[in-house]
Amino acid sequence: MSYGREREPTDDSSAPPSSPSPTSPTIPAVPAPRVAIGPTSDQYAVDAVTSAGGQLVEVGAPADAIVWLSAQDVPGLRATLDATPEVRWVQLPYAGVEVFARTGMLSDGRTWTCAKGSYAEPVAEHALALALAGLRHLPERLAATTWGPPKGTSLYDADVTILGGGGITEMLLTQLAPFRVRATVVSRNPEPVAGAVRTVTTDALHEVLPGALVVFLALALTAETTGIIGAAELDLMDERAWLVNVARGPHIVTPALVEALQRGTIAGAALDVTDPEPLPEGHVLWSLPNAIITPHTADTPEMTAPHLAKRIATNVARFAKGEKLQGLVDPVAGY
């Protein structure tokens, strides 16, 4: 089972500021809450619930909360909630929740939480690895059968731009710190982000693309961020720049990216997510020497299960005490 990301991944996005988020429903303390795990139950989730004092119940039985471990079985969750109207809190497994947001169920009056921020370490690590692989021409060298000329670009003391202001960005900035980069964060929230030299809102995106050696995408997918990188944005990037996407494929307009890579408008793109996804066999991106594709593996199940277990245990314990939960989903913002 794969748990995706905030791609979101996140407590923030580069969407324009929206109206103030509605207040999360107040949850009174529920000692030993009844928690159902569905649509199937993994042992790490069972252990997380019980270690935090929750009582396991079958899916469909009266429950106070549901831990849903699938983003594919959205109809199953809808049916379960219809059968258990008393449920007050739902924990989702991904950081990104767009598949649930599209159904409108996030606005049903319940408290919804997701895994945003939980998978920041492995996703940021993968983003950094992709950037270094591109800058150091590793795909070319892996395919080479001759010595070849020396070439490569150092990340040290470079300008980088990161779209998204959530957990992945915060971790990525920590991992980038030894490289002494000058990082600009593009976020819907203009508040400063630790480790960045400045934070700007989306309306300034075109101002912070030129000059960046690497442009990272680590933002939530919303209507406003779909296609946020298109032909105009790619034209603004430097010819030596790499575009790294560890968020969601639809952030990038794929035909525009293909054209930019073929023309050499940018140096390359390293993508852990694509549009369409999975990227079909024979797609032109597979054949481009300046495109690196990894199959949505910035956070594998083995990496994410311990992090999700921690989020579940923390939230069950907080739910039992009536405390604010982690990873709250804003139904207005859609993440």
Active site residues: 248, 277, 296
Of 247, 293, 245, 237, which is closest to residue 267 (Cα–Cα)?
237
* Residue 64 near residue 89, CB atoms below 8 Å: yes
Six-digit token string for 103: 């159904």
CA 83 – CA 69 distance, rounded (Å) = 18
CA 172 – CA 168 distance, rounded (Å) = 6
- Burial of 98 per CB tally in 10 Å (0-12, 13-18, 19+): buried
Six-digit token string for 271: 């993508």
CA-to-CA separations, 28 to 31, 33, 78, 106, 113, in angstroms, rounded: 10, 11, 24, 20, 16
CA 132 – CA 129 distance, rounded (Å) = 5
* Residue 161 near residue 212, CB atoms below 8 Å: yes
For 42, other C-beta atoms within 10 Å of its C-beta total: 17
- Burial of 229 per CB tally in 10 Å (0-12, 13-18, 19+): buried
